[in-house]
A and B are shown apart, each in its own frame.
Chain A
Amino acid sequence: MTYFLQQALNALQLGSVYALIALGYTMVYGVLTMINFAHGDFFMVGAFLCFICVARLHLGFVPTLLVSMAGVALLAAAVEFSAYRPLRRAPRVSAIITSLGVGIFLEHLTLALSPYPQHIPPAFTNLNWSAGGLAVSSLQVVTVLLSVGLMAALQFVVARTPLGIAMRAVSWDRETAALLGVPVDRVISATFAIGGALGGAAGMLYALSYPVIDPYMGVLVGWKAFISAVVGGIGDIRGAMLGGYILAAVEIAVAVALPSTYRDFVAFSLLIVLLIFRPYGIFGRPRPQKL
């Protein structure tokens, strides 16, 4: 029993990070119907900002979190302004290709600064509790609580604030929203910034949990988070969270039952099967076609 609880806890920790990154994909898609493939690399930048704060500047947990979130939020808004905004009226595929380019640019910029994988010392004294053979660390608790807290905060912003209303309006019909006085460009910048901040937080939590980071760490994790978002129903906040936890649970279950080479294969096969039956994801709905 403890063994299964321990494995469930492992899945919960990993799933929290996936869910946070998946939110970044889902928000940008929800508002712009664009997939920002550079998001995994935003996450990587968050991890490196965490490294700079903790290993070089010796900051504590809270300042590090603020720097990682604010830094990646700024980066995301800047990328949106310089790389995606000029393509707003171009075919959607142009923006997607640009986002792949931005991702590769960020990876190689980081690589140019240092080719060495970096190690991050603990940002706070990690307490380990043990209860009846079940090991829980304060890092796990912080990761899960902070992720859930950020997701709840996001849900609140989208559902209850003027910015959230504007985001939903832009998501529904960009042209009409503009005609009705919604500052579309600013709303889109804000969407990117919030998605970036969540990616930055995820990068930091991931970097503290798995403290060896490298410039390519965002690629695979980014793909996994993207797939989580699609499985949950891209554009839907609850869906992104659920997708993240489902993927992590499947991954851990496969690693327990099969050799690890099967992990990604089985995890992604299951997701493809799920999409055959629910092509818009668990919470997704087909968008009405505009004529």
Chain B
Amino acid sequence: MIAELTGSIPAVGASCRNAAQLAAKEINDAGGIEMEGGKKKMIELVIEDTAAKADQAAAAAQKAITRDDVAAIVGPNSSSNALPAAEIAEKAGVVMIAPWSTNPKTTLDAQTNQPKQFVFRACFTDTFQGHVLGKFAAEILKAKKAAILYDVASEVLKSQSELFKQSFEAGGGKVVAAETYTTGDKDFSAQLTKIKQAGPDIVFLPSYYTDVPLQVQQAHRLGLKVPFLGSDAWSTEELIKMCGKDCDGFYLSNHYSPQTTNPVTRRFIASYQAAYGSVPDDVAALTYDSFGLLKAALAAAKTTDRRAIRDALSRTTDYKGVTGDMRFTPGSGDPVKGAVILQIKDDKFVWVTDVRP
């Protein structure tokens, strides 16, 4: 497992590690996975840190493959980390499942734009997410004018913004301001003042959870008081802790809602809470699903041969995960699955609606 344990988004790394350890323990407690000849194999977890940096993510993948000789990789989570790691995994012919990387490019070959052979993900893509959010803002929130503020240095946030604009304007709205900032900025007052000037009904803010409180509080200080709409990059409890009342009433798209009645999900939430004392966020749920997918593939392949794992995984057609049912269409590492829209209300993420593909 490779995750962002330190650096700019450590809460993501911690969730990923917790879920990975839980999944490995559950598989091993159940006696491991049956291999060819009836022999059982235990999962041995190797944990690497990317420090949320692209170069360290690539180095971690290289180390896991060559030195630790892993059968498959789960992680990294953020697309900026998953992309370089995916290049390494693809070249080495090792299955990699990125739990939370929504950028379409993660599973695509950089040169040919065709799907990579060995890279999969457990989440939906930005093509889907940006589209869902634009549609939600235009059709359900009935917004006419939207502003966008995004990190121009982040591939994923940039593409989400473009896709949001497309589907929002297709729904009859108009994007009146599209402002940018750069990773590490703390002062957004210039951009927010411009946005206020443009007079939007809603602001699309696909930032990571560490930037959102700063941006929202500065917006409120400048007297910009419209609802904000975020993506799955918002979806950690840390956001609510840091943002407090300022984020109340805001919307975001996410991979799953802890309030679901799905028994598979309920069972996972219960065991995660028993182990770590907190409700698992989407990263944890998706990491758990990544291990679930991997386990199913290993059980079907009955070997740790890297190519056999890949073939078994790509044939997954009906996996009942904690983030919903998923299947892979042949030749693609992107699962077919739905999304949910949540609202922040009284310091909780509250389910609003489900969106099917």
Residues of A within 8 A of B (CB): 3, 6-7, 10, 13-14, 111, 115-117, 119, 121, 126, 128, 130, 133, 135, 137, 139-140, 206, 210-212, 214, 217, 220, 251-252, 255-256, 259-261, 263-264
Knowing A128-B223, A210-B186, say if A261 contacts B193 (CB, 8 Å).
Answer: no
**Complex contacts, B221 vs chain A, CB 8 Å:** 126, 128, 135, 137, 139-140
Interface centre among B10, B186, B210, B222 (most CB of A within 10 A): B186
Which one of B5, B10, B179, B210 lies within 8 Å of A212 (CB-CB)? B210
The 3 closest A-B pairs by CB, nearest first: A119-B242, A10-B189, A255-B190
Q: Are A260 and B191 in contact (CB under 8 A)?
A: yes
Q: Is the CB of A256 within 8 A of B190?
A: yes
Q: What B residues does A140 contact at CB under 8 A?
A: 221
Known: A128-B221, A263-B182. A116 touches B190 (CB 8 A): no
Q: Which of B8, B190, B191 contacts A117 (CB 8 A)?
A: B8
Q: Given contacts A116-B11, A260-B180, is CB(A10)–CB(B242) below 8 Å?
A: no
Minimum C-beta distance from A129 to chain B (A)? 10
Is B55 located at the chain interface by the 8 A CB criterion? Answer: no
Q: Residue B56 at the A interface, CB < 8 A?
A: no
Distance in angstroms from B178 CB to nearest chain A CB is 9
Within the complex, the shortest CB–CB distance from B14 to chain A, in Å, comes to 9
B184 at the interface (CB under 8 A from A): yes
Nearest A residue to B220 via CB reads: A128
B residues contacting A by CB (< 8 A) are: 5-8, 10-11, 152-153, 179-182, 184-187, 189-191, 193-194, 197, 210-211, 213-214, 217-218, 220-223, 238, 241-242, 244
Task: Assess whether A7 is in contact with B217, with CB atoms less than 8 Å apart.
Answer: no
| Minimum CB distance partner of B5 in chain A | A115
Inter-subunit contact A210/B152 (CB<8 Å): no
Residue of A nearest to B218 (CB): A210
Q: Is A261's CB under 8 angstroms from B186's CB?
A: no
Once the chains bind, are A116 and B10 in contact (CB under 8 Å)?
Answer: yes
Q: Name the residue of chain A whose CB is nearest to the CB of B153.
A: A261
Within the complex, the shortest CB–CB distance from B52 to chain A, in Å, comes to 10
Please pick, from B6, B186, B193, the residue contacting A217 in the complex, using a CB distance under 8 A: B186
A57 to chain B, nearest CB (A): 18
**Contacting residues, chain A, for B11 (C-beta < 8 A):** 116
Contact A130 B193 (CB under 8 A): no
Which of A7, A121, A133, A139 contacts B190 (CB under 8 A)? A7
15 residue pairs of the A-B complex, CB under 8 angstroms, read A6-B193, A115-B7, A116-B11, A119-B242, A128-B223, A137-B221, A211-B214, A212-B214, A256-B193, A259-B152, A260-B179, A260-B181, A260-B182, A260-B191, A264-B182
In the bound complex, residues from chain B placing their C-beta under 8 Å from that of A256 are 190, 193-194
* Residues of B close to A206: CB separation below 8 A: 186
| New A-B pairs, 5, CB < 8 Å, besides A126-B221, A212-B211 | A7-B189, A130-B223, A137-B221, A212-B242, A217-B186
Distance between Cα atoms of A262 and B182 in the complex (Å) = 9
Also in contact, A252 and B190, with CB within 8 A (given A111-B6, A261-B182) = yes
- Contact (Cβ within 8 A) A6 B182: no
Shortest A198–chain B CB gap in Å is 19
Minimum CB distance partner of A128 in chain B: B221
Enumerate chain B residues within 8 angstroms of A115, measured Cβ to Cβ: 5-7, 10
Residues of B within 8 A of A139 (CB): 221
B10–A10 touching, CB < 8 Å: no
Of chain B, the residue at the smallest CB distance from A111 is B6
Please give, as numbers and ranges, the residues of chain A lying within 8 Å of B184 by CB-CB distance: 220
Q: Are B180 and A261 in contact (CB under 8 A)?
A: yes
B21 CB to nearest A CB, Å? 18
CA–CA, A259 and B226, complex, Å: 23
Quick one: which of B10, B191, B217 contacts A255, CB cutoff 8 A?
Answer: B191
Name the residue on A nearest B9 (C-beta): A117
Taking a contact as CB atoms under 8 Å apart, the answer to whether A135 and B223 are in contact is yes
**Neighbouring A residues of B7 by C-beta, 8 Å:** 115
CB-based contact A13/B213 at 8 Å: no
Whether the Cβ atoms of B223 and A210 lie closer than 8 Å is: no
- Residues of chain B lying within 8 A (CB to CB) of residue A220: 184
Contact A259 B180 (CB under 8 A): yes
**Given A115-B6, A220-B184: A261 and B152 interface contact (C-beta under 8 Å):** yes
Q: B306 CB to closest chain A CB, in angstroms?
A: 33
